[in-house]
Structure 1
Amino acid sequence: MHLLVVEDQGVFAEAMAEELKAAGHEVDGPARSMEEGLKLARKRKPELALVDIGLKVEGDGIMLARMLWLEFEVPSLFVSGSREEAVANADLAVGLVEKPVAPEKVVRAVEAARAVLHGDPAPAGPSELTLFSHRPRPPSDAPGLH
């Protein structure tokens, strides 16, 4: 699966990207900011973006997930400690992987997210994963995105 990783915690971001690559995924990033994430997505559209909600530089992860969905119809999987904010923006994402989480568990979360995106039963993910049980809504159907 072609993934975009947007995470500003350097060591965690690199470890997550390496685990995903080792599992056979194509990984762009890690990007450290919203702008960097958008640049990578424009170069090569990913199938799924792993997005930290609490980006500290140039915008936030919610704004990035919204832009990725509106511009490219790329769904996101939030990787964040901000559960309430993730659930409040569930229309933009397939699920949430709650931090702290071991990078290798993100691989299992991506497999579960892939199943949801393809309409298949999701395999058991890590305990840190909450699937929102749906594909994000098409941009034309999502409230407040016009």
Structure 2
Amino acid sequence: MSLAETIAPQLPYLRRFARALTGSQEGGDAYVVAVLETLVADPQSFPDTQMKRVGLYKCFLKVWNSIRLNRDAMEPKSQADRSLEAITPRPRQAFLLASVEGFTTQQIAEILECSTDEVSRLIEEAGEQIAEQTATDVLIIEDEPLISMDLEALVKGLGHRVSGVARTHREAIAEVRKKRPGLVLADIHLADGSSGLDAVNEILLGFNLPVIFITAFPERLLTGERPEPTFLITKPFEPNTVRALVSQALFFGTDAHVPDASSGLASQQRGPRLATSSDARP
């Protein structure tokens, strides 16, 4: 099997990691492109590892540490600038590799080229620093009662408040009218057949805020071919994944955006629309 065939299935997940690390789709995807260009130019640069996924992420972080795309992509985000003063990239890398990507401590040590003790220290440091910086009201849009209860417990465990729990598009809009949230966790397919994507797009017409989508099919929204959500949680999810992405979304102050259809200029200023419910279907 060729190197391209080996790493191709991992690209949606590498995009997820890159976007969480940079705090933006544009910045994260630019890094993935840079990695692919590096491998095309010099296939021998791919690390000689037993697990090819470990080698891919190791290659990615070597590119991350060697060029300035990360700084350029985040400027001039004042929230990110303030956050970055309190947490350095290396603890954030270790935290995401464990909590979002599911690597073992040994695998992270190989990726970061450090000891397992150092990995544990980095993860603990990142968790403490991120938790100190964030506290907000969270709207949960989820039609499965057990899942919504789990999400509510996780959100409260991070020190946040739950402003409301909605099972449908209509309920989500009603909850926002009662209290404006600082973060939205949204399922895609809701109880009455409505769309969490459409609900979020309607919410974002009024104001911008960080959004994390929950889906069993992340590859449908992580193609790199159109404006897409920066943060996604894959069902069934691990509690640490939720904790990590909630912290990352608030850490960067990464707002989602939709265009103002009445004005082309406003559309450019506010940014691209997120994928719609029809985009998420095969």
- If the TM-score is normalised by the length of the shorter chain, which range does it land in? 0.7 to 0.9
Q: Give the C-alpha shift of residue 43 in structure 1.
A: 1.2
More displaced stretch, 56-65 vs 38-47:
56-65
More displaced stretch, 55-64 vs 43-52:
55-64
Aligned residues: 129
SS of 1:96 mapped into structure 2: strand
Is residue 72 of structure 1 aligned with residue 207 of structure 2? yes
Q: Aligned in 2, Cα 1:34/1:101: closer, same or farther, shift over 3 Å?
A: same
Aligned counterpart for 2:152 among listed residues 17, 30, 50: 17
User: For residue 216 of structure 2, what is the aligned residue in structure 1?
Assistant: 81
User: For residue 47 of structure 1, what is the aligned residue in structure 2?
Assistant: 182
> CA separation in 2, counterparts of 1:78 and 1:90?
16
Aligned residues of 1:48 and 1:74 also touching (Cα < 8 A): yes
Aligned residues of 1:45 and 1:72 also touching (Cα < 8 A): no
Q: Give the C-alpha shift of residue 110 in structure 1.
A: 0.0
More displaced stretch, 75-84 vs 16-25:
75-84
Aligned residues of 2:214 and 2:232 also touching (Cα < 8 A): yes
> CA separation in 2, counterparts of 1:41 and 1:91?
24
Question: Identity of paired residues, percent?
Answer: 28
Aligned counterpart for 1:31 among listed residues 128, 145, 166: 166
Q: Aligned in 2, Cα 1:17/1:36: closer, same or farther, shift over 3 Å?
A: same
User: For residue 99 of structure 1, what is the aligned residue in structure 2?
Assistant: 235
> CA separation in 2, counterparts of 1:116 and 1:31?
25
> CA separation in 2, counterparts of 1:31 and 1:103?
20
Q: Aligned in 2, Cα 1:61/1:36: closer, same or farther, shift over 3 Å?
A: same
Q: Aligned in 2, Cα 1:69/1:12: closer, same or farther, shift over 3 Å?
A: same
**Amino acid corresponding to residue 145 of structure 2 in structure 1:** G
SS of 2:233 mapped into structure 1: strand
> CA separation in 1, counterparts of 2:188 and 2:205?
17
Query: Which blocks of at least 5 consecutive residues in structure 2 are unaligned?
Result: 1-135, 260-266, 275-282
Q: Give the C-alpha shift of residue 24 in structure 1.
A: 0.8
Structure with higher Rg: it is 2
Q: Aligned in 2, Cα 1:75/1:109: closer, same or farther, shift over 3 Å?
A: closer
1:126-141 to structure 2, matched below 5 A, reads 135-137=255-257, 139=259, 140-141=267-268
Q: Aligned in 2, Cα 1:136/1:90: closer, same or farther, shift over 3 Å?
A: farther
What is the RMSD computed on CA atoms of the aligned residues? 2.5
User: For residue 113 of structure 1, what is the aligned residue in structure 2?
Assistant: 249
More helix by share: 2
> CA separation in 2, counterparts of 1:138 and 1:64?
12
User: For residue 122 of structure 1, what is the aligned residue in structure 2?
Assistant: none
> CA separation in 2, counterparts of 1:38 and 1:144?
18
> CA separation in 1, counterparts of 2:139 and 2:211?
9
